[in-house]
Chain A
């Protein structure tokens, strides 16, 4: 019988081991490419066991070591963390398989380095998910940023350099300038860095300062891509598609919104937020981000750029859910982490498959290509429906809960905003399968997509449907999160 602490270690250490082992296996390409998915399987196994114990009402905790008095690196699994952990480790399995197909298909250079840092980024994301205190959270937040930098600048050309600069400036700059002092402010006022189920600030921080502290957190978490800080995400799209798929649809951005949610629920506490009303401005900001980036997405012709803006807009759903400060909204936000991850990773997989198979990256060139790669576009169609929120796709649950949350906290305009955004979702996502299937072909292209890319795409696409029917465990986790 493996103890629950060891499962935590298993989940976290498997990607780290993959990262460390990969450089030593650079001569044996088969082995090097296999350990990624294998590590993913082990990691998911751990994550599932952890989730089970969380569902049983436990709160597994493990302390790694103490840096100095009051500063520890420790892991403590909250229900929200369990959700994020399972999403990140599970999708890593498929993304790892897919990235092997992509890297081989594109014949990229420096593959060993790529796989090593890929695993390192997942390691950091999982550590964020399971972090037990704000210090651990911050440390791995920074590690995540730095471990993705080599992935973004993978091509090592001028464009990569420029994008890398934007990426680092926004993410590192915001986290150093705002996130760190915000954390230390919490430390000074409450005397602790541990988070707790109902927030730690109530009774400690004068409510009149709460909006400012929240502001520092919001602008400190650049990874959540709220509007003045969103431009790193489109810039990061220069990275190879597997990076965009896993990291910039799942791991990194979800680490951002996860941090945001955990701060809102476990540091401030939903009750404290609702009582003080300090998150009102954040609702506005999230709505603005939501609408404006949807509009930008409509005008983007580059497929990956469109998906990037769509991601930004979807991320602000999650922030919005936290900011509404009601339990339904928080549940919706947490569920959206799951459903959006499954949908968006499929969309990116498709974008990468089209790029590798047909060398097309622009939407306007997709006309009539549907017949040459029918499964791929079908997957895109289904995943789009999930993002839009049409039943029977997983995405419908999270939108439902978000709208219920808006009603619960009496923000009816939020419902209108959500509806408008849904319409825009339809517009900019449906254009792609529509062009592919219902327009005339412009040019003939030999399409060769490696099986290693098609299979993961199909599986993640299947997830979007399965999630509709099998949302129960996630819903229970969110119920635990809001303390019901």
Chain B
């Protein structure tokens, strides 16, 4: 019995939230639906941890869906690489659900809560499916499952602010175009290789010269995924979607959604198209590298001039995605590892920041802008402390998780590309301190509004915030877990030759 369970873990992690999402929609009681969602995300997280342990001993688990053996059947692969986003998605999914307990009812009407939780689980299952699958077309299906669910979730914010609808619409259209691009790419690659299994594509590509269909297919696939991953300048859907979604949804999406796509991007660049080294290295050096630098500065500068805090954080996400793609674009083992380190750390940081801002808006009952933050540090010390720690982590200051990722990123930049790139990284992270400090300064030094004095922080709200902040510090002090798994991932991804 247990054997069956263990053997089917790779599919269970996708199907458990998928099936439960259908069930949760039918539950009318909002409290019950919350409990079910919490239980489901918890189970998902447990499965993820079990899988992590499996991966440590077997290094790669291949699961043939419906016993149709790959390359003909659909294959689910869990290895050192894909386990990282799986842990991120399921872990943050659980934390965000825990946090959503009080937040959801404050922003949504009672009748729509269970539907939201249904979509919530659907999004999580789509994202996990996205990273587990080893089949190019199945990947597209999961891409659409997750993004359609996310779009609907964003649109749920319409009760708070009608702009959520526009945000959702733009997200949908741009996302659909991106996904279609990806499908075109898959079609072209299928035409020349005759297979859809990602590993099989690699082995078929190794046998052929670079040709136009391959280049076009590669281009379409990469661009499609870049849209989903919000790589500059294909990020325009992101700030609005994150800013106007219901707060709990913002946390989930900001911490997980782009990470899955970034993982796919890394997989396509380094693993699937490994044989066509020329095209990949050209793309990395001349396209992704400059775009990442633009993203780093563009996102940061946009954030400096932004007054609405949720939008501000969304802009900063674009800059942070820039760091990750920059790490990929350097293309050495240590830099790709740095990218994965930052991927997990950024999920913790952004999750924490969005949670802090959400709790503030919950207490003051308003949209959070810079002016509204005035003096709130005194009224809510715990939230404020967590906010400061997560901010410092974002800026990459010592003893936080963010420092570790910056450290490895700069180290890999210096050892392969030289100093100029590391100056770019550091300059933009110094700039990011400007907008973070603007918020901290207002929270700490400006006078407190009279009606905010009575605010009392509730343990239900700050417990998960404290937890994620603790993780930020913990992984800053004991980074070996993240660092080692990221290096395992990059070793597996880049193979022995680099």
Assess whether B429 is in contact with A188, with CB atoms less than 8 Å apart.
no
Say whether A138 faces chain B, with CB atoms less than 8 Å apart.
Answer: yes
Assess whether A187 is in contact with B411, with CB atoms less than 8 Å apart.
yes
Q: Smallest CB-CB separation from B437: which chain A residue? A: A168
Assess whether A143 is in contact with B398, with CB atoms less than 8 Å apart.
yes
Assess whether A176 is in contact with B445, with CB atoms less than 8 Å apart.
no
B404 to chain A, nearest CB (A): 7
24 A-B residue pairs with Cβ-Cβ distance under 8 Å, sorted by A, are: A66-B478, A67-B479, A68-B404, A68-B479, A69-B480, A138-B398, A139-B399, A142-B398, A165-B441, A168-B433, A172-B430, A172-B433, A173-B433, A176-B395, A176-B430, A177-B423, A180-B426, A181-B410, A181-B414, A181-B426, A184-B411, A184-B414, A184-B422, A188-B415
Say whether B419 faces chain A, with CB atoms less than 8 Å apart.
Answer: yes
B392 cross-chain contacts in A, Cβ below 8 A: 146
Q: Smallest CB-CB separation from A140: which chain B residue? A: B398
Q: How far is the CA of A164 from the CA of B440 in the complex (A)?
A: 12
Picked from B423, B437, B441, B445, the residue with its CB within 8 Å of the CB of A181 is: B423
B323 to chain A, nearest CB (A): 14
| Further pairs besides A71-B407, A160-B445, A172-B430: 20, Cβ < 8 Å | A65-B478, A67-B479, A68-B404, A68-B478, A68-B483, A69-B480, A69-B483, A138-B398, A143-B398, A143-B399, A156-B444, A156-B445, A164-B441, A164-B445, A165-B441, A172-B397, A180-B406, A180-B407, A181-B422, A184-B411
Assess whether A153 is in contact with B444, with CB atoms less than 8 Å apart.
yes
| Residues 422-447 of chain B, each 1 if its beta carbon lies under 8 Å from chain A, else 0 | 11001101100100010001001100
Say whether A185 faces chain B, with CB atoms less than 8 Å apart.
Answer: yes
Say whether A161 faces chain B, with CB atoms less than 8 Å apart.
Answer: yes
Say whether B477 faces chain A, with CB atoms less than 8 Å apart.
Answer: yes
Within 8 A of B (CB), among A175-205: 176-177, 180-181, 184-185, 187-188
Assess whether B480 is in contact with A67, with CB atoms less than 8 Å apart.
yes
Assess whether A67 is in contact with B477, with CB atoms less than 8 Å apart.
yes
A184 to chain B, nearest CB (A): 5
Per the CB 8 Å criterion, the residue count for chain A at the interface is 28
Picked from A65, A66, A143, A161, the residue with its CB within 8 Å of the CB of B441 is: A161
With A67-B477, A67-B480 known to touch, is A176 a contact of B396 (CB < 8 Å)? yes
Q: How far is the CA of A180 from the CA of B484 in the complex (A)?
A: 22
B433 cross-chain contacts in A, Cβ below 8 A: 168, 172-173, 176
B414 cross-chain contacts in A, Cβ below 8 A: 181, 184-185, 188
Minimum-distance CB pairs A-B, first 4? A139-B398, A68-B479, A68-B483, A68-B480
Q: Smallest CB-CB separation from A157: which chain B residue? A: B445
A184 cross-chain contacts in B, Cβ below 8 A: 407, 410-411, 414, 422
Dominant SS among interface residues on chain B? helix
Assess whether A177 is in contact with B427, with CB atoms less than 8 Å apart.
yes
| Residues 482-497 of chain B, each 1 if its beta carbon lies under 8 Å from chain A, else 0 | 0110000000000000
Q: What total count of A-B pairs have CB within 8 Å? A: 80
Picked from A66, A156, A180, A185, the residue with its CB within 8 Å of the CB of B480 is: A66
Within 8 A of B (CB), among A46-74: 65-69, 71
| Residues 321-356 of chain B, each 1 if its beta carbon lies under 8 Å from chain A, else 0 | 000000000000000000000000000000000000
Picked from B407, B430, B437, B476, the residue with its CB within 8 Å of the CB of A177 is: B430
B395 to chain A, nearest CB (A): 8
Q: How far is the CA of A142 from the CA of B414 in the complex (A)?
A: 22
Q: How far is the CA of A303 from the CA of B411 in the complex (A)?
A: 45
A185 cross-chain contacts in B, Cβ below 8 A: 414, 419
Assess whether A188 is in contact with B480, with CB atoms less than 8 Å apart.
no
Q: How far is the CA of A168 from the CA of B445 in the complex (A)?
A: 15
A158 to chain B, nearest CB (A): 9
Q: How far is the CA of A173 from the CA of B427 in the complex (A)?
A: 8
Q: How far is the CA of A71 from the CA of B406 in the complex (A)?
A: 14
A40 to chain B, nearest CB (A): 25
Assess whether A176 is in contact with B480, with CB atoms less than 8 Å apart.
no
Q: How far is the CA of A173 from the CA of B423 in the complex (A)?
A: 12
Q: Which B residues are closer than 8 A to A by beta carbons?
A: 392, 395-399, 404, 406-407, 410-411, 414-415, 419, 422-423, 426-427, 429-430, 433, 437, 441, 444-445, 476-480, 483-484
B411 cross-chain contacts in A, Cβ below 8 A: 184, 187-188
In the complex, which of the residues A138, A146, A177, A181 has the most CB atoms of chain B within 10 Å of its own CB atom? A181
A68 cross-chain contacts in B, Cβ below 8 A: 404, 478-480, 483-484
Within 8 A of B (CB), among A108-150: 138-139, 142-143, 146
Q: How far is the CA of A134 from the CA of B429 in the complex (A)?
A: 21
A139 cross-chain contacts in B, Cβ below 8 A: 398-399
Picked from A65, A160, A168, A180, the residue with its CB within 8 Å of the CB of B477 is: A65
B423 cross-chain contacts in A, Cβ below 8 A: 177, 181
Q: How far is the CA of A164 from the CA of B479 in the complex (A)?
A: 32
Q: How far is the CA of A142 from the CA of B399 in the complex (A)?
A: 10
B415 cross-chain contacts in A, Cβ below 8 A: 188
With A67-B404, A68-B479, A143-B398 known to touch, is A180 a contact of B445 (CB < 8 Å)? no
Assess whether B398 is in contact with A176, with CB atoms less than 8 Å apart.
no
Picked from A143, A172, A180, the residue with its CB within 8 Å of the CB of B410 is: A180
B341 to chain A, nearest CB (A): 9
Q: How far is the CA of A4 from the CA of B1 in the complex (A)?
A: 58
Q: How far is the CA of A203 from the CA of B430 in the complex (A)?
A: 33
B477 cross-chain contacts in A, Cβ below 8 A: 65, 67
Q: How far is the CA of A188 from the CA of B418 in the complex (A)?
A: 11
Q: Smallest CB-CB separation from B433: which chain A residue? A: A172
Q: Smallest CB-CB separation from A160: which chain B residue? A: B445
B478 cross-chain contacts in A, Cβ below 8 A: 65-68
A65 cross-chain contacts in B, Cβ below 8 A: 477-478
Q: How far is the CA of A142 from the CA of B433 in the complex (A)?
A: 13
Q: How far is the CA of A173 from the CA of B396 in the complex (A)?
A: 12
In the complex, which of the residues B407, B414, B423, B441 has the most CB atoms of chain A within 10 Å of its own CB atom? B407
B429 cross-chain contacts in A, Cβ below 8 A: 176
Assess whether B430 is in contact with A173, with CB atoms less than 8 Å apart.
yes
Q: Smallest CB-CB separation from B481: which chain A residue? A: A68
Picked from B399, B426, B441, B476, the residue with its CB within 8 Å of the CB of A176 is: B426
Q: How far is the CA of A139 from the CA of B411 in the complex (A)?
A: 17
Q: How far is the CA of A402 from the CA of B483 in the complex (A)?
A: 46
B398 cross-chain contacts in A, Cβ below 8 A: 138-139, 142-143
Q: How far is the CA of A431 from the CA of B423 in the complex (A)?
A: 46
A164 cross-chain contacts in B, Cβ below 8 A: 441, 445
A188 cross-chain contacts in B, Cβ below 8 A: 411, 414-415
Q: How far is the CA of A176 from the CA of B407 in the complex (A)?
A: 11
Assess whether A181 is in contact with B419, with CB atoms less than 8 Å apart.
yes
Q: How far is the CA of A393 from the CA of B410 in the complex (A)?
A: 48
A172 cross-chain contacts in B, Cβ below 8 A: 397, 430, 433
Q: How far is the CA of A361 from the CA of B415 in the complex (A)?
A: 52
A168 cross-chain contacts in B, Cβ below 8 A: 433, 437
Q: Smallest CB-CB separation from B483: which chain A residue? A: A68
A16 to chain B, nearest CB (A): 14
A178 to chain B, nearest CB (A): 8
B401 to chain A, nearest CB (A): 11
Q: Smallest CB-CB separation from B414: which chain A residue? A: A188
B419 cross-chain contacts in A, Cβ below 8 A: 181, 185
B397 cross-chain contacts in A, Cβ below 8 A: 142, 146, 172, 176
A457 to chain B, nearest CB (A): 32
A181 to chain B, nearest CB (A): 5
B285 to chain A, nearest CB (A): 21
Q: How far is the CA of A66 from the CA of B427 in the complex (A)?
A: 28
